[in-house]
Structure 1
Amino acid sequence: MGRVQTNLAAVRKRRGVGAAELAKKVGVSRQTIYAIEAGSYLPNTEVTLQLARHLEVTVEELFSLPAEREQDSTTVTAEYLGRSRPGGGQAVRVCRVGAKLVSVPADARPYHLPEADAVVAGSSARSQKIELCLFSEEETTRNKIVLAGCDPATSLLARLVERLSGVEIVHAPASSQLALDWLKEGKVHVAGSHLQDPDGAEFNLPLIRRQFPNKDMAVITFACWEEGFVVARGNPKNIRKIIDLNRKNVAIMNREAGSGSRGLLDSLLRSAGIVPKSVRGYERVAYGHLSAAHAVLVGVADCCIATRSAAQTFGLDFVPLRSEQYDFVLHRDTLSIAAVEALFDALQRSTLRRKLETLAGYDTSQTGVIRA
């Protein structure tokens, strides 16, 4: 019967009328009555009116159409924080940042469907905004904040924050520079950065002052880490120095422009007088420390520049190059938001620091320190 819903059986039994008796009154077979009740046969207009007359009910009490979806209440427009235009039906997380509704690609992993708040209903190559079909209006107002950056260890922070306060951290994968750009545009609450000032040794502060002039910004340290060469176990290509990347038998996996890892590689190549295009794999790009390290694990590359934690995650070897500071950057007035307060309260927990030290190999002596 397609979309037509039948209530004939319930009405007939409520009236105390047998199928054979009703069939005789209407002028059809008993099997036809059962077929109508099962939804496998749609009666014509005359039979429908006869059924309603003999059961003394309206046609609408016997047959109906399913309720229409209230599209207006579930379809919304949101900013999209992703590297490429999403496809229809793609799962996303949704969060409100100030007056903006922001969506982030759901964290898809093998063997598990991702946690999601909505699916993409439509998108345009000419706009960064997309149409979403929300699972619930509550998804736009739930206790969530958007944190953009590239540190995979923020997942440890996110789990602790949710357990302690019920606040959910929606992670938007991004290079340090892209995270800061999104912060400028009001699309994220917090940006993670490990960008070194080209004119000095200090991380983040000089660049933030230049990129956010006349803005009251807060800068709070997450942790210090080591960044270096991630290589296969045993380091079979004996990659120790930047000059080794210029060998013909060495292929790298690079990071995207604007990332701290890309900045470190370019700086080292300049200092060594090596032309980037002479390095095999320089044009190949992985998004994130773990993605770059995974390329080494599966043999797509011999080396990448990433954190020690990325090497540890996949059981790879690590050749340290320098220590870096990863800071959280946000507009100072954002600190008054309860959900953001919960995030920074968690930075003071010894449980978090132990996990960062043990699982990621981070230096947490400055974790939670307000630098600006």
Structure 2
Amino acid sequence: MSDSSSTSPFLNVHQVAELLHLNEKKVYQLASDGAIPSTKVTGKWLFPRRLVEQWILESCHHGVLADRLMVTGSDDPLLSALIMRLNQQQQGHAFYGYSVTGTQLGLSLLSQGRADVCAIHWGRAEESELRHPALVRSHSGYRHWVLVRLFRRSQGLIIRAEDRHQPHDPSGLFGANRRWAIRQEGAGSQRFLKEWLAGHQLRLEQLNTHAVAYSEREIASLIARHDADIGPGTLSAANEFGLGFIPITEEAFDLVTPRNVYFRSLLQQMFDYLHSAAGLTLAQSLGGYTLDECGKLLWRGDDVQHT
């Protein structure tokens, strides 16, 4: 290998084959299956050197960072509270990280190997059996992922505390005097809002939008500070800020993770805590959660019917 090729941030198929002691046909297969960090440029596969080296370490150790779990994707108050409690239990022996990005960006980070777990929600609970696998399959690497139920939660519209006892005819929510806070594109709550509006023959552009928020809590915070009057969110986020709530639907809140990460004790401890008396009490105190399917394996990317 020449000096220039050894310093390049990218490897070609031949170089990866040499590095892994595989034939080039197997490397092509790994790339096509999304099993190795790669990208196709003008018909040729390129492999980011740093990510390939990280992938090798992860493969050798079932996660070289097995003492930490990086969670990304959708925002949720119960998930956030759960992770804080688990970190306290670990007392520095292990670490949970939670970075809220929204569903779509979270899946992108997972496919790049930058996160261990992605939290997603993409519509009503009764449609999640089809919607969530379809969404996951749109990202490279999905054949090595599994989909696990965390809980179901009440989704709707967060409103000002002083409006909670007023009648809420849907047509009255769209007037010019209603200041909306919405979510960024790719967030599950933004998807929910668009679909709900479509059911009323309205488009997002017709709302009096005053702010874009990047989490459930930011929506609630904007309304609590009187910087907005209404926005999409969960009952738990509304309760946390002492706000009103208009229930619209129940949605499934699921976790996407590589198969080897699914078996890590740190992830299993999340399910165990939510099944415990303390976890059930926590969910009840926040409001709007159903935990009866917590930890249920819903879908595997390597299932024969999805190949």
CA distance in 2, matches of 1:236, 1:345: 35
Superposed CA RMSD in Å reads 3.0
Q: Is the 8 A contact 1:153 1:356 kept in 2?
A: yes
Cα distance between partner residues in 2 of 1:172 and 1:157: 14
- For 1:262, the aligned partner's letter is Q
Q: Does 1:334 align with 2:261?
A: yes
Match status 1:259 vs 2:187: yes
Question: Comparing both structures, which one devotes a greater share of its residues to helix?
Answer: 2
Query: Counterpart amino acid of 1:293?
Result: A
User: How far apart are 1:343 and its partner, in Å?
Assistant: 3.5
Specify the alignment match of 1:99 in structure 2: 54
The TM-score normalised by the length of structure 1 is: 0.57
Residues 1:173 and 2:100 are matched in the alignment: yes
Q: Report the counterpart of residue 148 of structure 1 in structure 2.
A: 72
Q: Report how far residue 208 of structure 1 moved.
A: 1.9
Whether the 8 Å CA contact 1:167–1:342 is kept in 2: the answer is no
Distance in 2 separating the partners of 1:151 and 1:329: 15
Alignment partner of 1:206 is 2:131: no
Unaligned runs of 5+ in 2: 1-50, 56-63, 300-307
Structure 1: tracts of 5 or more residues without a match: 1-95, 101-139
**Which has more radius of gyration?**
1
1:311 aligns with 2:262: no
Instruction: Find the residue that maps to 1:291 and give its secondary structure.
Output: helix
For residues 237 and 256 of structure 1, the distance between their equivalents in structure 2, rounded to whole angstroms, comes to 29
Contact 1:148 1:171 survives alignment (8 Å): yes
Matched residue, 2:112 = 185
Superposed CA deviations along residues 84-131 of structure 1, whole A, max 9, x for unmatched, are xxxxxxxxxxxx9x928xxxxxxxxxxxxxxxxxxxxxxxxxxxxxxx
1:192 partner letter? A
- 1:227, CA displacement in angstroms? 0.9
Q: TM-score, normalised by structure 2?
A: 0.68
Matched length: 237
Amino acid in the other structure paired with 2:183? R
Q: Which has the higher contact order (CA 8 A, sep 6+)?
A: 2
Counterpart contact for 1:190–1:329, Cα < 8 Å: yes
The aligned counterpart of 2:8 is none
Comparing 264-273 and 254-263, the one that deviates more: 264-273
Out of 80, 83, 93, which is 1:158 matched to?
83
Structure-to-structure mapping, 1:216-227, within 5 angstroms: 216-227=144-155
CA distance in 1, matches of 2:128, 2:260: 29
* Deviations 1:145-168, CA, capped at 9 Å, x for gaps: 110131122122213433444432
Q: Answer yes or no: is the 8 Å Cα contact 2:155–2:249 preserved in 1.
A: yes
Match of 1:279 in 2: 207
